[in-house]
Structure 1
Amino acid sequence: MDYFTPNFKSYVVPNSEKSGRTPVLRNKKFIEDSLITEFSQVKTIYDIFWRGKPYNPETSSFLSYKFYTYKESAEIVTNFASGLIHLTLKLSKTEAEKNSVLQRQWPVALYSINRPEWNLTDRACSTQSLISVALYDTLGHDSMTYILNHCKAPVIVCTVDKISRILLNIQKLPNVKIIISIDSLSEPSGPRSGPPNLNIRAIDILKQWAEHYNVTLVDFDQVKEYGKQHKIDHHPPKPSDIYTMLYTSGTTGNPKGVMSTHENYAHAARYSSLGKLDKNNTPVILSYLPLAHCYGRNVENYNTLLFGSIGYYSGDISRILEDSRDLQPTSFPGIPRLLNRFYDVLRAQTIDAPGLTGVLYRAAIKEKLEILEKTGNPRHEFWDATLFERTRGFISKRLTVAGSGSASIEPQVLNFLRVVFCIDLVEGFGMTETSAIGSKQEPGDGTSGNIGVPLAGVEICLRDIPEMSYFTSDLPCPRGELLIRSKSVFSGYYNEPEKTAEAFLEDRWFASGDVARINLDGTISIIDRKKSIFKLAQGEYVAPERLENTLQKFPLVSQSFIYGKNTMSYPVGIIVPDEAVFMPWAAKLVKQNKSFKDMTKDPIIVAAFLEEIAKYCKESKMNGFEIIKKLYLEYIPFDATTNKLLTPTMKLKRFDASKYYSNTLDNLYS
């Protein structure tokens, strides 16, 4: 492959190619990290927040039903941080415990939906060099207990509805000494996130319950008041201090605690913000991406770096459009699951609309898509001012840019939304281990099916994966495992030195486990996943995630779990059909009215479904040994709360799924 063509979008570091690896790629606009001076004074998350106070003291920084300026936010952060240290010192029983508190770098767990208090607590932790440990709001009892014990957090800051869940497991949580309720424990009813049946009697029982187990239960305002009365000087962190621990999804076992330093996330925020600072136009974002996920965390950090405002959603993802239209954000960090929903709604209102409306939209979108492909421009002077005036404001009338991250998005969805929103909608890639950054499409890039080029401050290359037949010498495009090097890359997995050693190669290259391709134009595409492969009896390797991603595009399939044994020559599958498509199809086969459950158990339907799958897999150019030979149709969807087969970020927990369906899988192979 020729890396030095004029239209190659990445910068290729000269003489960086090694045996079994591609050359190193960087961002073409920002070749040398040392030459980038914008935000160079920002070394920590503490710097990000506190530089905003003197510059824009009256700018609204956090929005929900109440507005906080940077000045007001700074006062809350200082008082809460002081109160946190004061309360923990007060409860320390020995000099050794007091010294441990004063040495800082101990964990504070956050267990809540996105709210201003979540962010304020995170800033307070930075103000005193404490480590924030984020727990997904949707975590079940087992995962919550595992993480709290693994990180040994003595303090939990949570919404009032989480208190009973913690106290139910408190005998399994020997490190927990303090629970701080974000919601008031003095009022008869809490703020919007509190359960509707919250009352004084229920609060009294919670307090007695906590006291019974020698746990101190206070609320956010009480801790602020302690701090106001017992001010403690700021204890700013060093760049090398741990800023946060985020726990990976744990798709193959217990989640790993990713330790990220202040330098890691400050670097990510800096390089996500380059060229975007405009003090005359305050950026506004809607915070709905879970703050226990790196994507949501980095979005808030770099928005704060740009002196922006943050509005918090209502807590109900089904109301996300109402929340967004109320706030009118200037940018929108999207995820494919949500963007697919927007696509379905807008498609029905435009190109699938009946009559003249549909005719006009089909003509306009066809023309705009042709222009997008040729020029990368999603805008059109005539159509945007007339036909697309309404769709432009679907999310927000002030929207100028949007992104898609956390998973791949279908090209037709991405391009459709670009032209109906009339904005740059860019796809990007990042990981928990890289503080959410890695690569991103540049504004004005109208291509799809790729994750763009390396972000400024990031280096990327590929290495051979012989066991999967991916080689950097492949033609026309090199393929291999994606390696990333950057100051944003984490310091290690907490208390897991062996897994940390496995993740890093020489010179601090992080092995992502993702299989990528460097395209002819210098962009990068994720094409597979390395870590979940299994070997069949004949010695062939199978990557189940790639097969599942292929099946996801088949209309009859909603969810799938592909499984294989090294003693068998073929894979099998557990498949959840898409009920809306499956039921009419199945009814034609059996000519009977049956329930969804009964249809999935009918042997005629199962056999026909398997034939359809095999046909589709062949059309999708799958190898013969990759095609499932037997399947089980499941009528109960995989989820994160009931059968717990999905992580909070909707990834399949492969290890748990194999245990859950153990008997079924054995039967399929019998």
Structure 2
Amino acid sequence: MNYSAQGFKSYVVPDSARPGFTPILRNLAFYKDSMLNVYPELETIYDLFWGSVEQVPDRDFIGHRPYDPETGNFLPYVFQTYKQVGERVTNASAGFIKAMLMLSKTEQEKQKVLARKWPIAIYSINRPEWKIADKACVTQSLYSVALYDTLGYDSMLYILDHCEAPMVVCSLDKIPKIMLNIGKLPRLKIIVCMDSLKDSQHSRSVPSPFNTNSIRILREWTNHCSIKLYDMEEIEELGKSSGIPHFPPKPEDIYTVLYTSGTTGNPKGVVSTHSNYVHSVKFGSIGRLDRTNTQVVISYLPLAHTYGRQTENLNVFAYGKIGYFCGDISKILEDTRALQPTSFPGIPRLLSRFYDEIRKKTIDAPGITGKIYRKAVAEKLAKFKKTGNPRDEFWDPTLFKPIKSMISDRLTAAGSGSASIEPKVLDFLRVVFAIDMIEGFGMTETSAVGLKQVPGDPSSGNIGTPLPGIEIRLKDVPEMNYLSTDTPCARGELLIRSKTIFREYLKEPEQTREVMLEGNWFATGDIARINEDGSISIIDRKKSIFKLSQGEYLAPERLENTLSKHPLVSQSFVYGRSTKSYPVGVIVPDPLTFVPWATKIVGNKTFEELVKDPKVVSEVLKEIQAYSRRSKMNGFEILRNIHLEHIPFDADNNQLLTPTLKLRRFDAAKYYNDILENLYEE
């Protein structure tokens, strides 16, 4: 590969190539360590947050849309200033410590509380109280552990027990979920409800099935189980009168533990320090964020995920304004129009939905309307690919301004992360919104940062180049035929080295050692390609785990093991793409059970005829989906479409199995490529 090609977008560290590895690549504009010594006063998230409170105390900070139970509508945004939030954080942080001290029965227990460094779990949708609870942890050198429903109820209980949190801060609707299995959570002592537990105020909460009687029962239930129940107002009042001062963390202290579903077993707790996330802010902002103009961002990406968390941290760094969505993703555009954000953090699943809806009203519209939009989009795309400028003085005011207004009149930039986005979707949205829209790559283990395109880059199908402070290289994966010596482009597993790399997987030293290689390189498990222009593209996964477009991980082996227990299934191959929100699959039925079952539906036919019968395929899919739900699979894990195969996977003929009868997943994806394409198109 020619690393010295003209216009190469990455800096190649001289003499850094090694056998089995590519050279080390860095950011082209910030390739020297001396260029990265920015904002030395920021060493922790405490410094970041309280520095912004000190600099812009009277600027609006976090806002939400109050719910009006009389009309059933959400009202305009109401904001709290940096100073107001700072006061609440100070009080809540002291309240957390005071509440734990009040439960301490011995001097040893008291000293353990005062030593800090214990976790508080946070469990709710994105809302102001999430932010206040998180920053309250920071203010007392505690660390937050995020809980979320997507992983499933059992995983939520596992996380809460595994992290040993003595306290949960959660929304009202989550309390019964926790209490149903409180016996499995012996370390949990305190629940802090984000919603008011006062009868007079509860009617103003976000809509929920709870009423005054429900709250009374919850209080009796928690009291019976020796769980202390507070609401946020009570915790803040407790802290206000406690006299407990701030207890700032050190850079090496834990900031957060985020659990990721990227394994075949239980979720892994990714332990990240203040230093990790502060460097993520610094490296992610160099040359990109303006602290002089107020940034406004919508918060809807789960704060239990690193992308959502770090989007907010970057906005705090920029002295920005955060508006929380109402909790219903179907109303996200209603929220953005009310908020008028300047930037939009996107994920492929949602951006693809925008793409489909806008196409219907523009280039796919009938008659003269569609003809005009097709001409305008084609002209803008051609211009954009040449210049990198998505704006047009003629077409934008006349045709595209209303499209941009569907999100925000003030929108100037958007991003796509958490999974790969289809190039046609990215390019189309760039020109119809007339904004800089860039794709990037980061992981929980890298504190959300890694690689990113630069504004004005007209390319698509890649994740850009390393951010400042990030080093990358590729490692050979010979078993998949990906080599650093491949031509014209080097290919291999993407390795990342940076001060943003996590400390460890909580209580999982062996799994930590598996991904942390010699020289402090983190092995991502993603197969990447260094393109001829120096940009990077993700092209495959090394492990049999893949990420869907909404950012959730699937472990296909676990799903296949579950499906194999169904009497109709002999073998299965579960497949997914990072540009799609659901998996599809190839099923080899068991002839002994399948043939009698299928003939009852369509009459006597051969095995080969039965697997090709559309009615049979449809009934098998329904059966598998019902079985998957009974097996407690998450919604995003359930197959949406299937192909029935009458020829078994084997090691000799189609060679889809190894000699030890394990599925060759990479080969199976190649073998069924056309069929898998059709499964997604149907």
Q: TM-score range by the shorter chain?
A: 0.7 to 0.9
Tell me, in whole angstroms, the C-alpha distance in 2 between the residues paired with 1:495 and 1:251.
15
Instruction: Give yes or no for contact 1:33–1:456 (8 Å, CA) kept in 2.
Output: no
Using the TM superposition, give the Cα deviation of residue 80 of structure 1 relative to its aligned residue in structure 2, in angstroms. 0.3
The corresponding residue for 1:53 is 53
* TM-score, scaled to structure 1: 0.83
Using the TM superposition, give the Cα deviation of residue 297 of structure 1 relative to its aligned residue in structure 2, in angstroms. 0.3
The corresponding residue for 1:87 is 99
Using the TM superposition, give the Cα deviation of residue 392 of structure 1 relative to its aligned residue in structure 2, in angstroms. 2.0
The corresponding residue for 1:7 is 7
Structure 2 letter corresponding to 1:166: I
The corresponding residue for 2:410 is 398
The corresponding residue for 2:44 is 44
After superposition, what is the alpha-carbon deviation per residue over 1:148-191, rounded to whole angstroms, capped at 9, x for unaligned?
A: 11000000000000111111010010010000000001135637
After superposition, what is the alpha-carbon deviation per residue over 1:375-397, rounded to whole angstroms, capped at 9, x for unaligned?
A: 22211121112111211222111
Other structure's SS at 1:460 match: strand
Instruction: Give yes or no for contact 1:107–1:132 (8 Å, CA) kept in 2.
Output: yes
Q: Is structure 2 residue 198 aligned with structure 1 residue 186?
A: yes
Are the structure 2 counterparts of residues 642 and 179 from structure 1 closer, same or farther at C-alpha, using a change threshold of 3 Å? farther
The corresponding residue for 1:22 is 22
Other structure's SS at 2:101 match: helix
Instruction: Give yes or no for contact 2:192–2:231 (8 Å, CA) kept in 1.
Output: yes
Match of 1:157 among 169, 191, 205: 169
Using the TM superposition, give the Cα deviation of residue 230 of structure 1 relative to its aligned residue in structure 2, in angstroms. 0.6
Other structure's SS at 2:298 match: strand
After superposition, what is the alpha-carbon deviation per residue over 1:342-386, rounded to whole angstroms, capped at 9, x for unaligned?
A: 001100010001111111100010111111222222111211121
Q: Is structure 2 residue 212 aligned with structure 1 residue 224?
A: no
The corresponding residue for 1:360 is 372
Other structure's SS at 1:415 match: helix
Are the structure 2 counterparts of residues 573 and 532 from structure 1 closer, same or farther at C-alpha, using a change threshold of 3 Å? closer
Are the structure 2 counterparts of residues 195 and 303 from structure 1 closer, same or farther at C-alpha, using a change threshold of 3 Å? same
Instruction: Give yes or no for contact 2:489–2:529 (8 Å, CA) kept in 1.
Output: yes
Structure 1 letter corresponding to 2:380: K
Instruction: Give yes or no for contact 1:561–1:574 (8 Å, CA) kept in 2.
Output: no
The corresponding residue for 2:122 is 110
The corresponding residue for 1:483 is 495
Structure 1 letter corresponding to 2:15: N
Tell me, in whole angstroms, the C-alpha distance in 2 between the residues paired with 1:293 and 1:274.
23
Structure 2 letter corresponding to 1:633: L
After superposition, what is the alpha-carbon deviation per residue over 1:532-567, rounded to whole angstroms, capped at 9, x for unaligned?
A: 18xxxxxxxxxxx59x99xxxxxxxxx9999599xx
Query: Could you say what the CA RMSD is over the residues aligned between the two structures, in angstroms?
Result: 3.3
The corresponding residue for 2:425 is 413
Instruction: Give yes or no for contact 1:638–1:646 (8 Å, CA) kept in 2.
Output: no
Match of 1:306 among 318, 339, 347: 318
Tell me, in whole angstroms, the C-alpha distance in 1 between the residues paired with 2:305 and 2:187.
24
Other structure's SS at 2:463 match: coil
Using the TM superposition, give the Cα deviation of residue 36 of structure 1 relative to its aligned residue in structure 2, in angstroms. 2.5
Q: Is structure 2 residue 595 aligned with structure 1 residue 607?
A: no
Are the structure 2 counterparts of residues 562 and 249 from structure 1 closer, same or farther at C-alpha, using a change threshold of 3 Å? closer
Tell me, in whole angstroms, the C-alpha distance in 1 between the residues paired with 2:41 and 2:372.
52
The corresponding residue for 2:393 is 381
Instruction: Give yes or no for contact 2:173–2:208 (8 Å, CA) kept in 1.
Output: no
Instruction: Give yes or no for contact 2:95–2:239 (8 Å, CA) kept in 1.
Output: yes
The corresponding residue for 2:64 is 64
Other structure's SS at 1:310 match: strand
Are the structure 2 counterparts of residues 297 and 644 from structure 1 closer, same or farther at C-alpha, using a change threshold of 3 Å? farther
Are the structure 2 counterparts of residues 284 and 635 from structure 1 closer, same or farther at C-alpha, using a change threshold of 3 Å? farther
Tell me, in whole angstroms, the C-alpha distance in 2 between the residues paired with 1:230 and 1:5.
64
Tell me, in whole angstroms, the C-alpha distance in 2 between the residues paired with 1:167 and 1:499.
31
List alignment gaps of at least 5 residues for structure 1.
534-544, 550-558, 583-597, 613-630
Instruction: Give yes or no for contact 1:438–1:484 (8 Å, CA) kept in 2.
Output: yes
Other structure's SS at 2:202 match: coil
The corresponding residue for 1:215 is 227
Tell me, in whole angstroms, the C-alpha distance in 1 between the residues paired with 2:628 and 2:445.
22
Tell me, in whole angstroms, the C-alpha distance in 2 between the residues paired with 1:322 and 1:133.
30
Using the TM superposition, give the Cα deviation of residue 250 of structure 1 relative to its aligned residue in structure 2, in angstroms. 4.1
Structure 2 letter corresponding to 1:32: K
Using the TM superposition, give the Cα deviation of residue 198 of structure 1 relative to its aligned residue in structure 2, in angstroms. 2.1
Are the structure 2 counterparts of residues 644 and 318 from structure 1 closer, same or farther at C-alpha, using a change threshold of 3 Å? farther
Q: Is structure 2 residue 294 aligned with structure 1 residue 282?
A: yes
The corresponding residue for 1:141 is 153
The corresponding residue for 1:633 is 621
Are the structure 2 counterparts of residues 255 and 385 from structure 1 closer, same or farther at C-alpha, using a change threshold of 3 Å? same
Using the TM superposition, give the Cα deviation of residue 669 of structure 1 relative to its aligned residue in structure 2, in angstroms. 6.8
The 5 Å alignment of 1:645-664 reads 645-646=633-634, 650=636, 652=637
Are the structure 2 counterparts of residues 7 and 159 from structure 1 closer, same or farther at C-alpha, using a change threshold of 3 Å? same
Other structure's SS at 2:338 match: helix
Tell me, in whole angstroms, the C-alpha distance in 1 between the residues paired with 2:516 and 2:558.
29
Tell me, in whole angstroms, the C-alpha distance in 1 between the residues paired with 2:631 and 2:130.
28
Other structure's SS at 1:386 match: helix
Other structure's SS at 1:338 match: helix
Are the structure 2 counterparts of residues 299 and 282 from structure 1 closer, same or farther at C-alpha, using a change threshold of 3 Å? same
Using the TM superposition, give the Cα deviation of residue 438 of structure 1 relative to its aligned residue in structure 2, in angstroms. 0.6
The corresponding residue for 1:554 is none
* TM-score, scaled to structure 2: 0.82
Instruction: Give yes or no for contact 1:418–1:424 (8 Å, CA) kept in 2.
Output: yes
Instruction: Give yes or no for contact 1:117–1:182 (8 Å, CA) kept in 2.
Output: yes
Tell me, in whole angstroms, the C-alpha distance in 1 between the residues paired with 2:90 and 2:646.
58
Are the structure 2 counterparts of residues 291 and 644 from structure 1 closer, same or farther at C-alpha, using a change threshold of 3 Å? farther
Aligned residue pairs total 597
Tell me, in whole angstroms, the C-alpha distance in 2 between the residues paired with 1:323 and 1:637.
34
Using the TM superposition, give the Cα deviation of residue 338 of structure 1 relative to its aligned residue in structure 2, in angstroms. 0.2
Match of 1:243 among 241, 244, 255: 255
Using the TM superposition, give the Cα deviation of residue 665 of structure 1 relative to its aligned residue in structure 2, in angstroms. 11
The corresponding residue for 2:538 is 526
After superposition, what is the alpha-carbon deviation per residue over 1:429-458, rounded to whole angstroms, capped at 9, x for unaligned?
A: 000100111101110111111000001111
Structure 2 letter corresponding to 1:464: D
Are the structure 2 counterparts of residues 217 and 55 from structure 1 closer, same or farther at C-alpha, using a change threshold of 3 Å? same
Other structure's SS at 1:11 match: strand
Tell me, in whole angstroms, the C-alpha distance in 2 between the residues paired with 1:185 and 1:562.
41
Structure 1 letter corresponding to 2:621: L
Using the TM superposition, give the Cα deviation of residue 41 of structure 1 relative to its aligned residue in structure 2, in angstroms. 1.6
Are the structure 2 counterparts of residues 16 and 222 from structure 1 closer, same or farther at C-alpha, using a change threshold of 3 Å? same
Instruction: Give yes or no for contact 1:394–1:421 (8 Å, CA) kept in 2.
Output: no
Other structure's SS at 1:243 match: strand
Instruction: Give yes or no for contact 2:116–2:141 (8 Å, CA) kept in 1.
Output: yes
The corresponding residue for 2:88 is 76
Instruction: Give yes or no for contact 2:151–2:634 (8 Å, CA) kept in 1.
Output: no
The 5 Å alignment of 1:441-520 reads 441-520=453-532
Structure 1 letter corresponding to 2:633: L
List alignment gaps of at least 5 residues for structure 2.
66-77, 550-555, 563-569, 585-600, 651-682
Mean alpha-carbon deviation: is it higher for 240-249 or for 24-33? 24-33
Other structure's SS at 2:272 match: strand
The corresponding residue for 1:267 is 279
Are the structure 2 counterparts of residues 19 and 309 from structure 1 closer, same or farther at C-alpha, using a change threshold of 3 Å? same
Tell me, in whole angstroms, the C-alpha distance in 2 between the residues paired with 1:146 and 1:667.
40
Structure 2 letter corresponding to 1:58: D
